[in-house]
A and B are shown apart, each in its own frame.
Chain A
């Protein structure tokens, strides 16, 4: 069945979605994600704040071939980046002669961090993403230059640190000072933009499980980022994916690291509360 809501029917988008979205491959599959003997939870009951009943990792919407790439850490090409970052972790950089390891010792000391991000940051009076935290370490503690948001070293490092939380449930603060940012992110999520006049929700809430042309739409969960995308033949950040989505609907994307994308990241993370961190995930 094609879902067409009352609001939809009134606008042209309804026609677009109705004809583009075919129910041929409806719903996520029932495969289990087992990595190195460990079962990774890929679906849970949706958090109370969610409009959905049940939430699913994007892994459940991919083909068996793509799924299998993530089930073995050797075959997962994202681990090339993890290996590279492990070397960077030990390498001193900047005027203070420090490496990441100088303060944090083993990277496993950061287990759990990824599951809580973005989180409220008193120092800047706004939520901090992992990229923000890494760059603060670099500039304030190491006396090194900040990395670019999508710079290889940065994406690799976010993959290594996120991997330490693999299997842990996403658990992001949504109240207190984060509440305002959640509202801001929610507004962005439901606001139609671009020449195609679409919002995040049009695809990822109203039509997940359906086909949009040849793509099997997921819920747009971000628990597996940074993700190794076959299309990119490499790892990319959450904000890179947001940017790609906005370009697809012919909107002017926000900048990586912008307040808009940080708010959207926080809100989308909250929609995935309870899903396990999967980094580095593999998608098409």
Chain B
């Protein structure tokens, strides 16, 4: 399958700031793609480059094989849903959605049918004659979505689409966006700083850092096989141990030799970080071979999970563990309690970068 959107060597600077610093990526047709990263990582600039509001200093942007690097935004078969929604305040919901079709020269019954279909898709048919200021945040968001989708673009760009919504509505809209993407068959490219949003919705994620792609892959790849400390730290929660690759394991001062996966990939003596997800830490109240004694310094009850903060005996190094609330120990974890913790070698990842 050939790519729908191809970005090759794209760079853009503002003054001395390299907002986008040589990015290559490809989005497949019908894909739900997420650009994830902290603020200032260049994801919004990249989005504006794809929409055509900014012009790259170098590199090319291709859509469906055609070079659109120099095409003005109003001539690109790409639509953008703005973070602020940017609804036209002086027009009704219907007129907002009809606007883009009118620009294509569509009139009369054909126009009306297309607008009504789009409003139906986002379940706003009964709000057509309202003005934007009469709508709730969630309704505005759906008008913005209908306005962008009604043009049947080849690619829909969404800038922090759920950023302005409260948590409950956000979770509902995540599912809703996924449904719309599958129903319309349009490729979605979402910009977000919320990793949970990206993990839930996207088929693939590009995690950006300082204008470059830090890692590109499926949500599972980013979460379970991070390639750098930045990725491991940004996506989800992570425990890090600093040390050196030595012999049959990973040497950490005060802890000795820890088990780790893919040891062969790292040369002997290399400085690295060992990364362990909190949910991979196994807690037990009896000593086991290879387990470390630790003391509970605090815990946070999260509903289905219990997050336990530990201090390893001897070294005092911090460790976070995450237990399901149904875990045998979860009921009586309290400050000062002694436990033993361990993890399997395949869940400890060595990161050199």
Q: Indicate, yes or no, whether A interacts with B.
A: no
Interface residues of B (CB under 8 A from A): none
Interface residues of A (CB under 8 A from B): none
